[in-house]
Chain A
Amino acid sequence: MNARRWRATALFALAVLAAALIATRARYTADLSAFLPRSPSSGERALVEQLRSGPAARLIIVAIAGADAGTRAALSRRLAAALAASGDFASISNGDAAQLERDRQFLFRHRYLLSETVDAARFSATGLHTAIADSLDALASPEGPLLKGLFPADPTGEFLGILEELGPERAPHLSAGVWSSRDDSEALLLLQTRAPGADSDAQQRAVLAVRQAFLAVRAQLPAARGTTLQLSGPPVFALAARTLIKGEVLRLSGVSTALIVLLLLLVYRSLPALLLGLIPVASGALAGIAAVAAGFGTVHGITLGFGVTLIGEAVDYSIYLFVQARGEEHGPWRQTVWPTIRLGVLTSIAGFAALVPSSFQGLAQLGLYSVAGLSAAALVTRYVLPQWLPQRLALRDLTRVGVAAQSVLGRLRRLRALLLAVPLAAAFVLLLHRGHLLGHELAALSPVPLADQQLDERLRAQLGAPDVRFMVLATAATPELALAAADELTRRLAGLVRAGVIAGVESPSRYLPPQALQRARQQALPPAAELQARLGEALAGLPVEAAVLEPFVRDVAAAQAAPLLSRADLSGTSFASVVDALLVPADGGYSALLPLSGGGGDLPPQAVAQVRTALAAAQVPGALLLDLKGETDRLYQRYLQQAIALSLSGFAAIVVLLALLLRSAQRVVRVLAPLVLAVLAVATLLVGLGHELTILHLIGMLLIVAVGSNYALFFDRAGNAPQQGSLPLTLASLLVANLATVLAFGVLASSRLPMLSDLGSTVAPGALLALVFAALLAPGAAARGA
Chain B
Amino acid sequence: MRHAAARLAVALLVLARGASSAEPTAQDAFSEVLTQLAARAQGHVAFTEVQQLAMLKQPLTSSGELLYVAPDYLEKRTLKPKAESLILDHGVLRARRGGREHALELAAYPQVAPFVESIRATLAGDRAALERYFTVDFRGDEARWTLQLVPRAASVAASVRDIQMQGEHDRIRSVQIRQADGDRTQISIGAEISP
- A residues contacting B by CB (< 8 A) are 136-146, 148, 151-152, 164, 168-169, 173-174, 543-545, 548
Contacts and interface: CB of A to CB of B under 8 A. Distances in A.
26 contacts: A137-B82, A138-B97, A139-B51, A139-B53, A139-B60, A140-B49, A140-B51, A140-B60, A140-B61, A141-B62, A141-B82, A142-B76, A142-B78, A142-B85, A142-B86, A143-B86, A144-B51, A145-B159, A145-B185, A146-B112, A148-B183, A168-B101, A168-B102, A168-B103, A169-B102, A544-B56
B55 A152 contact: yes
Given A137-B82, A142-B84, 4 more contacts: A142-B86, A144-B60, A151-B55, A548-B55
A580 B174 CA distance: 53
A146 B104 CA distance: 13
B97 A544 contact: no
Contacts of A148: 53, 183
Nearest to B110: A177
Interface in B23-68: 49, 51, 53, 55-62
A168 B58 CA distance: 33
A143 B51 contact: no
B22 to A, nearest CB: 29
Given A148-B183, A543-B56, A168 B100 contact: yes
B81 interface: yes
A174 B105 contact: yes
Contact of B57 (A143, A145, A146, A544): A544
Contacts of A548: 55-56
Interface of B: 49, 51, 53, 55-62, 76, 78, 81-82, 84-86, 95, 97, 100-105, 107-108, 112, 115, 159, 179, 183, 185
B185 A143 contact: no
A544 B104 CA distance: 31
A152 B102 CA distance: 23
Contacts of B95: 141-143
B110 to A, nearest CB: 10
Contacts of B112: 146
Contacts of A169: 102-104
A545 B57 contact: yes
A173 B57 CA distance: 41
A566 to B, nearest CB: 31
A143 B104 CA distance: 12
Nearest to A133: B81
B57 A543 contact: yes
A745 B76 CA distance: 71
B84 A544 contact: no
Given A151-B55, A548-B55, A141 B105 contact: no
Nearest to A173: B105
A114 to B, nearest CB: 18
Nearest to B185: A145
Nearest to A142: B86
A137 B64 CA distance: 14
A495 to B, nearest CB: 14
A136 B159 CA distance: 20
Contact of B107 (A144, A152, A174): A174
B7 to A, nearest CB: 17
A141 B78 contact: yes
A466 to B, nearest CB: 17
B179 A145 contact: yes
A138 to B, nearest CB: 7
Contacts of A168: 100-103
Nearest to A146: B112
B150 to A, nearest CB: 17
Nearest to A160: B97
B58 A543 contact: yes
